[in-house]
Amino acid sequence: MDDLVARIQRAGYGIAEGEADLVIQRLSDSNDAMRLEKALLKLEGVTDAQVNFASERARVSYIPTIVSQADIRRVVQTAGFETVEAAGEFEDVERKAREEEIRQQRHLLIIGLIFTVPLFLLSMGRDFGLLPMALAHAEWLDWVMFALATPVQFYVGWQYYVGAYKALSNRTANMDVLIAMGSSAAYFYSIPVMLGLLPTHHVYFETGAVIITLIRLGKYLEARAKGQTSEAIKKLMGLRAKSARIIRVGLEMDVPVDEVRTGDIVIVRPGEKIPVDGVVIDGRSAVDESMLTGESLPVEKKPGDPVIGATLNKLGSLKFEATKVGRESALAQIIRLVEEAQGSKAPIQKLADQVSAIFVPVVIAIALFTFLIWYFLIPAPLDPGMTQFTRALINMVAVLVIACPCAMGLATPTAVMVGAGKGAELGILLKSGEALERAGRITTVVLDKTGTITRGQPSVTDIVMEMNLAPVTDRGGVEQGLLLDENELLRLAASVEKDSEHPLGEAIVASAGDRGLILSPVSGFRAEVGYGVEAEVDGQKVLVGNVRMMTNRG
């Protein structure tokens, strides 16, 4: 299939491809992700597949005329995993799945602790002589330990048995295989000891329970870490407007932003967020686009100018035609870029995946080799309560559970997710995990505008005045005997700007507040988009604006 696609592309033609974005559940480790990736690539019609363990997302490119999304989901389920389609660009399916996973892991961890803690105390208390003699040698104590260990083994740890079975049925091995083998060896060895079928009298029920509970604690912390890495996506999603005011069949109505269609006429009033991308057809205003461009000053908008969804309309009312909605909007593209960066594999992650793929089989081989060495070659233990078989078994279990590849399989993708997410929070969008990895070797950074490394918020640094500055009369003359000082000029300007939403006006008002100046009430306030503001203060008309405004007013 790949060869056929390549030939068609070399001939100068393209192939219409679809893309499925799936949330994958029940991935145990990066080995599972690689196994699922290979299974998807084997499906005829699939041209590319990427499965990320940390983000639990699968992106599959396919040819719709050959394979359907239902076929893709069927392959995922056959491989032993569950899938949810992330249908809407803003539908937070992933968040709900993560919250459910955290709740489930917390529940199982609590159940595990309830049974494991008393089991561990009884076992260690007996081993170290801390229990009363009558209790330590009671025949029923082993049965109590058995009763405490069984719920942990088959309820708290059932997921590992299921995962191990699915992995082995697909002729592979993952972390679940290690956990199931290690905990089961200790548990099932202890049952014949408890029944008196073996010469030793020491049971190891607590070993399997402690293994499962500690792994469950790690899974709970892992689930929380995965949830925290998607905070950047949540914050980006929170930027968009929840509803839009549109005109349909001559009527003005409020609808959810997801129901806005291309070609709809949208109305935005001052102080409201622009719901979707579009082109202004009526009205003038200034729009705060800092969330996209980093520029602190509002951008003037007039008929024919483009507006971007999630930006803030500051001054006048606008009427515009929606041109890009849903997945096509600028914000949706940004979210998609961040998701792709979080889900992409850096070169170091690909290396870690390759190591993880052979890690589990190698660990199992080493564990079996450890058992054989301790059973056949090491002298018998001096402790009468421990047989050669018991000691060899304990050492084999130790190798199985200590060599868990979770850290290696999770650390690299989590680092990429956290890095890409943190960058998005700070306004830096990363195209891929490889770009993030290579960023560590950057020696020179070139920045093209102010606001990139500064606060992005204007402030008054200096007040420059002409000598003998005085108010101007209505006829253009100067009022004699009324010279303005720096504080009076700032007070007048701030009095007018206190009703303005322009960042420069807010900076002037803040500076007056820092100096403790008392502002006067104003009347006749009026804002001219792209020019400035004017109002009457203490009986005087005060204009605050740019050179164009002052030139127009003479």
Residue 342 in tokens: 């979080």
Residues in the chain: 554
- Residue 18: HSE in the Cβ half-sphere, 13 Å Cα cutoff: 15
Is 448 a known active-site residue? Answer: yes
SS (H, E, C) 482-493: CCCCHHHHHHHH
DSSP 8-state secondary structure symbol assigned to residue 510? H
Distances from the Cα of 298 to the Cα of 97, 349, 427, 544, angstroms: 39, 42, 18, 16
Q: Tokens 């005329």 — which residue?
A: 65
> How far, in Å, CA of 319 to CA of 278, rounded?
10
> How far, in Å, CA of 410 to CA of 56, rounded?
11
User: Which of 277, 383, 448, 514 does the annotation list as catalytic?
Assistant: 448
> How far, in Å, CA of 104 to CA of 98, rounded?
10
> How far, in Å, CA of 270 to CA of 277, rounded?
17
DSSP 8-state secondary structure symbol assigned to residue 258? G
List the beta bridge partners of residue 532.
528, 545
Residue-wise DSSP of 270-315: TTPBP-SEEEEEE--EEEE-HHHH---SPEEE-TT-EE-TT-EE-S
Residue 446 carries which side chain, given as an amino acid letter? V
Number of neighbouring beta carbons within 10 Å of residue 377: 8
Residue 377 in tokens: 């070659």
- So which residues are the catalytic ones? 448
